[in-house]
Structures are given as structure tokens and as C-alpha cells.
A and B are shown apart, each in its own frame.
Chain A
Amino acid sequence: MAKKLIDFVQKKFASEVLHTHSRLGNDTVTVKRDKLVEIVRELRDDPSTQMDYLRTITAVDYLPRQPRFELVYVLYSMKHKHMLILRVMLEDSDAVAPSLHTLYGTAGWQEREVWDMYGIRFSGHPDLRRVLLYEEFEGHPLRKDYLKQASQPRVELLARERDSVEEFNIYVNDRPSSGSRDQ
């Protein structure tokens, strides 16, 4: 069974495959970006593969190597109990990949995480927001050029929050508490 999945991808999408290996028991296929959705759909729907479970999506930043980013999709079949890792190389200047959210429920959320951490966009994603960090965060922390000690700018209060803080201050200043030394 070892090389079955690699052969499957190679046979069906010969022109898309860039590189394969199966080191350490991880069958890995590096494919071109453009037909990623078709390849994954085929892997999911073909009865001989049935990769119905997307284990994880992540990215690796290989700065200063080019292409800089590598997207990693780990697919698994609950029926056949086999696993395949798909890798997609992305250039720094063109860090966009097609979204898999139509194929797997979990893809949307995991793609958000990759966007959050690496700044890789997913075309066709309906709701590409940050997931672990806040919207005002500047930069993408798992990029290698993001310094670990880097500090983030202070997030300004929203106008309505600021109003309520000011109201509170006015309220407090007008009414010193009973234990206050001012009395």
C-alpha cells in the first residue's frame, strides 16, 4: 500500500506533480497550485482513495529559500486508513492558494489559521479573518522575518468604548468614594 497513493496522484495528474517522496512513512506529493482543488476532490471522491478527512493544514516558511512558503495538507481516509501529505510551493510575491472550504468543513477554519500566522491568502475563502490573533495585529507572527520580541502597537479604544471610559472618569471624579482621602 505504501506507494499506492503517490501512484494514484501521479497517474491521474502527471503534469501537476513536481516531486514525491515517502520518507519516514509519510507519503508526500508536491503538486502545482493551480489544480489543487481538483486533485483533492479526486482523492476525496474516488472509491479507491476516499480521503474524507483533512487532518491538518499548515505552512512552512523557508526564508530565504525561494519559493519561500510551503503549504502542507495532510489527508486521511477513515475507510482505508491511509494518509497522504500534499505540499504546494508558494512564492513570496504570490502567496495565494485555492481554498478547500467546499470540500472539507474544517478547511475554512484551518485556512484562517494559516492566513493568521503566515499571511497566505486563500482565494475563494468566504470569511478569511484572523482566528487566534486580533484584527489589529500587524504582521504575521510565524513568518521568519517577524521577530520574536517584536511588540505590537497599542490598539486604540473604539469611540464608543472611549466615551464610556470618559463617562466613568467623570462619574468617579464627581463622586469621590467614602474612603477617599479627599473628603
Chain B
Amino acid sequence: MAHNITDSFDSYDPIDQDINNEPMILQMGPSHPATHGTVRFTLTLEGEKVLKCETEVGYLHRGFEKECEAATWTQVFPYTDRLNYVSPLLNNFGYALAVEKLLGIEVPDRCNWIRTLMGEISRLSDHLTSIGAGALELNAMTAFLYAIEGRELVWDLIEQVTGARLTVSYGRVGGLKDDLPEGFAENWKYVRARLIEIHAYTNKLLTRNRVFVDRMAGTGVISPEMAISYGYTGPMLRSTGVDYDVRKDHPYFKYGEVDFDVPVGSSGDNFDRYLVRMEELVQSIRIIDQCLERMKPGPINTDDPRVMLPNKERVYNSIEGMIAHFKIVFEGLQVPPGEVYSYTEAGNGELGFYIVSNGTGKPWKIHVRSPSLIMMGGVHKLFEGGLLSDIIPTFDTVNMIGGECDK
């Protein structure tokens, strides 16, 4: 080697090289064990302090919107299940509501009650997962087990109603797949009692836990103005003190008739988001109780033959039913041309559908305003200025769901 080693060694003065001068670039993800959901942060660190964060999403992109354009209006339901897969019922009903607006049809009273009820049950599963997984990643295994036990109970209920635990496809345009099964109210009573116990245990384990509070309080803070500007909705926005809740402000289904409160935080930090979710669990249980008390027997599907599939007896025994079945299944229901923006409150915030129909059996366009994707657009604001370790609890309370974020 022609290079003179001693020369270069002489010119190297370790004292001159201050290792803290240059910020460190750290790749976090895409498959980081503490970030549930596949997402990559490119962090610029000064010591442990996060100076800059670049977010990269899309690892779970499945072309939801493109697939929808090739499916009939009814065939979109299974795809919506896979948006926010922790609360698929809310997506189902949100999409059904949008198409019903465009069709200009009303669903029967009982259908609205069941949608309200099942939607809240789904919200329970969403919040329990968020709280449980959040605690787990801060090493609180016990709280996680309680929360997941609660979620299992909720999923058992969902399974009784829909036949599936996760990808339920329970919604239909103009109604539902099926009515509630017999004995649902009794099962709910059992689940309800256990959920209240679980809520109390979790509360005891976490809310006044020194370690938990130190990690959560004062981290991931965002101001109300910033949250609105970045399009934050749901528990994220409410933790900053803005009481925006689609269920309250623009009631749909039966939310206008039931009594519930919208919990709000004050400081917009992780701890407030945790408290808001804890309180929303209680409110959801309240709503479910009222639904079960007030719903009356009756039809669950609209009687418009152009929208609803005829029952099987008619399909097999009359040519009228057979034709209706054939046309709706193979050509899809005919939605009049037009466009509508319809929005509901999903687990993570406002879930909006902007749908365009050209008057055929297939959607011309379905755009989903997924709360997770929009929150990920502003998530760097929560990280920057904080510590590297604070990213873990902050990302938990943001509760990004890969399916919904990446579409």
C-alpha cells in the first residue's frame, strides 16, 4: 500500500472530533418491535432528543380505492373491514351510510339502533386495544392482559352477531346482514359486568401509577390550534380540549336520541389521550345500555327491492325474486349518479367517505378520509423536541392502524 499510515495517523487528532457536534440519523422501523403497525421514522437525533422526524408510510398499501372501483357497491364491504381492522363494524356502517345518502333511502328504526349498538361495541374493542397495547409497550403486561381479555369478550359478542371476529362484513347497503341473535342482551350483561371490572382494574393499575404517569404526562403534547390545522380528530383532538365529536355535532344513526357525554382533555398530552379513551369506554357502555333498552322488534332492512336482496324463499320460488337477486348480485345495485361526502366517528376519529357514482352498479370513485393517514401527516409535530423514548407512548396513543393508514 503506497499510502503512508504514520502520516495519516499523525494528522488525526481525536480531541478535535466532538462526537456531539453532528446530529445522528436513526432509522426507526419499518419493523420496529415497539411500533405496532409498519411505519418508518427517519429520526435526526441530538443525543436522545429528536430534532426532526420524517415519517414514511405505505408499507401496507393494498390499493383499497382502486379495488373498490372494480367491485360492485356491495362487494366493497369486505374491503372496508380491512381499513381499521380493530373496529371493522364502524367502517362498514360508515360506508353503508354514505351509499344510502347517495341512494336517498332510509333504513328502518331497528337497523339504526343495531348500528349504533354494534358500532359502540366495536369502539370498545378499538379503545381497549389502544390502551392495552399502549400499556404493554411501556412494560405494563398486566394491564395489557386485562384489556385484551376485555377485547376477547367483546369479540365473542361480535362473533355471535356477525359470525366473524375481525373481518365481519356485517353492514349492508340499506340494512344489515342479520338481526341480533337470541340471548344477546343476557350475553351483554355478562360482558358488561366484566368490562366494568376490567375498567376498574386498569384504572387502578395505570391511572395513578407513578411510572406510567411519568412516561405519559407531558409527552407528545400538541396544542388545539395545531391539532385542528393538522386535521386531528377523535380522541387525539379531544385530548386538547376541543369537544368535536361527529356523533354529537352531526348525529347520525341514533346518536341524537341517546344520552352520552363527550370527554375532553386539557393539555393534549399522552396522558390526556389515555384518560379520554378510558372515559369513552364508559360512555360507550352507556350508549349500548340505552340501545338495548330502547330498540323494538321490527324489520332491519329497507324494503326497497332495488337495494335489498330478496329473501331466499322468494329467490328459489318466484321468478320475480330470482331476477332481483340476479341483477343485484351480478350488476350491483344501481346508485344514481352524483357525489357525496359522508362522515362518521370511527375509533380513531372522523372516518369520511367521498363517493362518486356514475349511475352504474360499480362505484366510480371511493375516497376514504382515513383518520390514521391524516394523523401520520402531523405526527412529527408530536415527536420533535421530545425524547427518543417518548416516541413509544406517543405513537401508541396516536393509535395508527396500518390498514386504515395505508389503504
Q: What is the interface of chain A, defined by CB distance below 8 A to chain B? A: 23-26, 52-56, 58, 60-61, 72, 74, 78, 81, 83, 85, 104-106, 108-110, 113, 117, 130-134, 141-142, 146, 148
Contact = CB atoms under 8 A, between A and B. Distances in A.
24 contacts: A23-B338, A26-B339, A26-B340, A52-B229, A55-B350, A56-B341, A56-B369, A56-B374, A58-B369, A60-B364, A61-B365, A74-B354, A83-B341, A104-B229, A105-B230, A106-B231, A106-B377, A106-B378, A109-B374, A113-B373, A130-B58, A132-B407, A142-B66, A148-B66
A97 B219 CA distance: 37
Interface in B230-252: 230-231, 242, 244, 249-250
A106 B229 contact: yes
A104 B364 CA distance: 28
Contacts of A81: 249-250
A132 B356 contact: no
B263 interface: no
A83 B340 CA distance: 12
Interface of B: 57-58, 61, 63, 65-67, 69-70, 101-102, 104, 226, 228-231, 242, 244, 249-250, 338-341, 343, 350, 352, 354, 356, 364-365, 367, 369, 373-374, 376-378, 381, 406-407
A23 B357 CA distance: 14
Contacts of B381: 105
Given A74-B352, A130-B58, A131-B58, 20 more contacts: A24-B104, A25-B101, A26-B339, A55-B350, A56-B354, A56-B374, A60-B339, A60-B356, A60-B364, A105-B229, A105-B230, A105-B377, A105-B378, A106-B230, A106-B374, A109-B376, A110-B374, A132-B58, A142-B66, A146-B66
B345 to A, nearest CB: 13
A143 B226 CA distance: 33
Contacts of A60: 339, 356, 364-365
B245 to A, nearest CB: 11
A113 B362 CA distance: 23
Contacts of A130: 58
B107 to A, nearest CB: 16
A99 to B, nearest CB: 14
A28 B63 CA distance: 28
Contacts of B373: 109, 113
Say what secondary structure dominates the interface of chain B.
mixed
Given A52-B229, A106-B229, A24 B61 contact: no
A26 B340 CA distance: 7
Contacts, number: 100
Contacts of A148: 63, 66-67, 69-70
B61 to A, nearest CB: 5
Nearest to A56: B369
Nearest to A117: B65
Contact of A142 (B65, B231, B377): B65
Nearest to A112: B377
Given A55-B352, A104-B229, A110-B374, A132 B406 contact: yes
A55 B371 CA distance: 10
A106 B365 CA distance: 22
A131 B40 CA distance: 12
Contacts of B231: 53-55, 104-106, 110
Contacts of B406: 132
B101 A132 contact: no
User: Nearest 9 CB-CB pairs, A to B?
Assistant: A109-B377, A106-B231, A132-B58, A56-B369, A105-B230, A105-B229, A58-B367, A132-B61, A24-B340
